[in-house]
Structure 1
Amino acid sequence: MPSDRFEKRPGAAEPRTTDLRHSKGDLWVLLAGLPAAGLLIGLAVPRLARWASDSPVLPWRDAVAFVGGLDAPWQTGVVMAAGLVVGLVLAFVAMAEAMRLRLTDEEVRVEQHDSTLVLRRADIAAVFRDGKHLVVLGRDSAELARGEHQAPAAALAEAFRAHGYPWRDADPHAALFRRWIPGTPDLPAEAHALLKAREAALKRDAPRDARDLAEAVREAGFAVRDEKGEQYVRPLVGE
């Protein structure tokens, strides 16, 4: 997985801008390492298929036998090329999904999912790490931004605190989350309907729909997070 680092850019008197982004080493791992791994996997797959085809309990035997029969040089080249393409796709997806940040004393610029979001410091109530994710909460305790960021928590804390942002060691509202159970009376019917639709979006691997539905849940007065395949929900609480 890619890691990030932060660089401070000099201003008139002292550094006022901090970039949290991919390092050159991380980019080399993504753009060279993953495609190279794809090539090697493409080279190995026909051999593994031939080895596995002797198993008496092998599922999809016909498909495995077909792959194992790809032993001509041109066929091996096609499989390796497919592995290369898959590696490149994974590299670019990882780069697009990873959160990139630029901090100033006045705002946080978030680049993620091919879009840019600018958050004013005055609108931010808390910033913290949730596993591998960096989370920014607004004044109503709703998530303003969430995304995977591989920089160490200490480096993130240093960068945000240097610009005066309210860094927290953990989610200040974690105790309010409860696992969503359809039909429970503590949530209105509207929230249940949105969470059910979001559950379906997660099951069909539609992250954009899941994000849009999370925003709709927020507009209904609740925050939602995912943990081990389950949705957890809490009411929004203002400062």
Structure 2
Amino acid sequence: MNISRPSYRESTAVGFSTAIRVLIFVGCSVLGLALGYFIPLIAKWALTLPWVPFEGPLKLITSFSGVWVTVVTTLLGLLAGLWFAEEVIKDTLHVVVSGETIRLKKDGAVQEFRRETISTVFLDGKQLVILGSNGEEHARETYDWASGRIADALAEHGYSWSPGGDPYKEQFRRWVLDTPELPPAVNALLKAREIALRKKEKGEAKELRREVSKFGFVVKDEETRQYWRAQTTGP
């Protein structure tokens, strides 16, 4: 991870530095090459076991012989390593803080929020949360690194950081089917979202959270359990 130390007008980036990116690509490439090189030997050994899954593909690998087989599997291992490294980098939240905006990048998607729309920022477990002036959630993204790094970046540019976590945490209530305090449409969305959470469909769950927010409610998760609160005008 790397944080630049800019002047007031420059932005502060919190994410993988170039050196760490190179290490990730090199490390995954080496592992991929090694795995690919030994795939023919691993396949032969696996077929000696009393029971092994994917027996068909393993027999196919061992049916070929020659140096070219090792060359092909090694190259495939390299490609797999490069792909995995790219996925690791894409799946890691990258934050850019400036005097005017907070910009989030993850999974190829970019979110940008202007200072005047942000009331406070905090960590809820491993999730970075940005709140608006009415208590609405602008963003909730997994952030696996030390909170001090992002807290320093926000303080440097004058944003409000809540070290105690969510200022609205006491207002959350666990959702159960057909909660009477919620409109039928919100209950229907949360029911669909519960199914998405159980199926680990992260994209669908995130989209349904956005739909719930349009009705003036905030939802967060603990595994497949959902908790909700109404948007307010103050913590």
Place the TM-score, normalised by the shorter chain, in its bin: 0.7 to 0.9
Q: Is the contact made by 1:107 and 1:119 (CA closer than 8 Å) also made in structure 2?
A: yes
How far the C-alpha of 1:172 sits from its partner, in A, is: 2.1
Q: TM-score, normalised by structure 1?
A: 0.80
Please name the residue that 1:117 is paired with: 111
Please name the residue that 2:5 is paired with: 8
Q: How has the CA–CA distance of structure 1 residues 116 and 62 changed in structure 2, closer, same or farther, with 3 Å as cutoff?
A: closer
Structure 1: gaps (5+ residues): none
Please name the residue that 2:221 is paired with: 226
> Equivalent of 1:217, from 208, 212, 218?
212
Query: Matched residues in 1 for 2:177 and 2:232: separation?
Result: 22
Q: Is the contact made by 1:8 and 1:19 (CA closer than 8 Å) also made in structure 2?
A: no
Q: Could you list the per-position Cα deviations for residues 53-85 of structure 1 after superposition, in whole angstroms to 9, with x for gaps in the alignment?
A: 333343443344444556543223333322222
* Counterpart mapping for 1:28-177 below 5 A: 28-67=22-61, 69=63, 72-169=66-163, 170-177=165-172
Q: How has the CA–CA distance of structure 1 residues 140 and 152 changed in structure 2, closer, same or farther, with 3 Å as cutoff?
A: same
Please name the residue that 1:20 is paired with: 14
Q: How has the CA–CA distance of structure 1 residues 6 and 73 changed in structure 2, closer, same or farther, with 3 Å as cutoff?
A: same
Q: Is the contact made by 2:194 and 2:224 (CA closer than 8 Å) also made in structure 1?
A: no
**Which secondary structure state, in structure 1, belongs to the residue aligned with residue 119 of structure 2?**
strand
Amino acid at match of 2:217: F
Q: Could you list the per-position Cα deviations for residues 157-202 of structure 1 after superposition, in whole angstroms to 9, with x for gaps in the alignment?
A: 1221222211112222233334443334343321222223334444
Query: Matched residues in 1 for 2:60 and 2:24: separation?
Result: 31
Query: Matched residues in 2 for 1:125 and 1:211: separation?
Result: 22
Q: Could you list the per-position Cα deviations for residues 74-128 of structure 1 after superposition, in whole angstroms to 9, with x for gaps in the alignment?
A: 2233333222222222222233332222222332223334343331222212212
Amino acid at match of 1:34: C
**Which secondary structure state, in structure 2, belongs to the residue aligned with residue 55 of structure 1?**
coil
Q: Is the contact made by 1:38 and 1:85 (CA closer than 8 Å) also made in structure 2?
A: yes
Please name the residue that 2:232 is paired with: 237
The size of the alignment, in residue pairs, is: 233
1:181 aligns with 2:176: yes
Q: How has the CA–CA distance of structure 1 residues 235 and 64 changed in structure 2, closer, same or farther, with 3 Å as cutoff?
A: farther
Amino acid at match of 1:118: E
After superposition, the CA RMSD in angstroms is 2.8
Please name the residue that 1:195 is paired with: 190
Query: Matched residues in 2 for 1:71 and 1:146: separation?
Result: 52
Identity %: 31
**Which secondary structure state, in structure 2, belongs to the residue aligned with residue 9 of structure 1?**
coil
How far the C-alpha of 1:21 sits from its partner, in A, is: 2.8
**Which secondary structure state, in structure 1, belongs to the residue aligned with residue 5 of structure 2?**
strand
Q: TM-score, normalised by structure 2?
A: 0.81
**Which secondary structure state, in structure 2, belongs to the residue aligned with residue 8 of structure 1?**
coil
Q: Is the contact made by 1:161 and 1:167 (CA closer than 8 Å) also made in structure 2?
A: yes
